[in-house]
Amino acid sequence: MDCIFCKIANGEIPSRTIYEDQQFRVILDLSPATKGHALILPKEHADNLFELPEKVAADAMNVAKKMGAVLKDRLNADGLNLVQNNGEAAGQTVMHFHLHMIPRYKEDGQNINWKPHEPSAEELDEICKQITEA
């Protein structure tokens, strides 16, 4: 399979690696939203979160916790966004699971946002039912 993130994660294509272990490589994003924007890549291919083994998903969050703190500390960031897109409709452009770590700085001008809707109580009840009822 011709997957660029497989090649990067497994070291076939060079990258600016800030962390590596048996399961993951963490690299700087080539088109960063902010200074230090990094991607957590599992070495084992999975298209997205739904395909990812449970243990890898859990371990990815622990890498984010550890490396997020490193980024915040080393780069003097004021905050951090974790972003993870699944599917084209959700903005995923590379179909190999990756977890974005985006350090945030006061007045960095970035906007990781959505337009809030105002559903009625009935609509919210219906959605809740649709999700939870058999």
- Residue 39 has a CB neighbour count (10 Å cut-off) of 24
Range 90-129, binding ligand 5GP (CB under 6 A)? 91-94
10 contacts ligand 5GP (rule: CB under 6 A): no
Range 31-50, binding Zn ion (CB under 5 A)? 45
Q: Which stretch binds Zn ion (CB under 5 A): 36-44, 89-97, 103-111, 118-126?
A: 89-97
Instruction: State yes or no: is 98 an active-site residue.
Output: yes
Strand partners, 83: 100
Of 112 and 127, CB closest to ligand 5GP: 112
Task: Give pairs for 68-76: CB < 8 Å, separation 24+.
Answer: 68/101, 70/18, 70/19, 71/36, 71/38, 71/101, 71/103, 72/103, 74/36, 75/35, 75/36, 75/103, 76/105
Number of residues engaging Zn ion in binding (CB under 5 A): 5
Closest CA to 96 of 36, 56, 37: 56
Q: What distance in Å separates the CA atoms of residue 97 and residue 100, rounded to the nearest whole number?
A: 10
When CB distances to Zn ion are compared, the closest residue is 3
Of 93 and 113, CB closest to ligand 5GP: 93
Range 19-78, binding ligand 5GP (CB under 6 A)? 27, 29-31
- Residues with a catalytic annotation lie at 98
Q: Which residues bind Zn ion (CB under 5 A)?
A: 3, 5-6, 45, 96
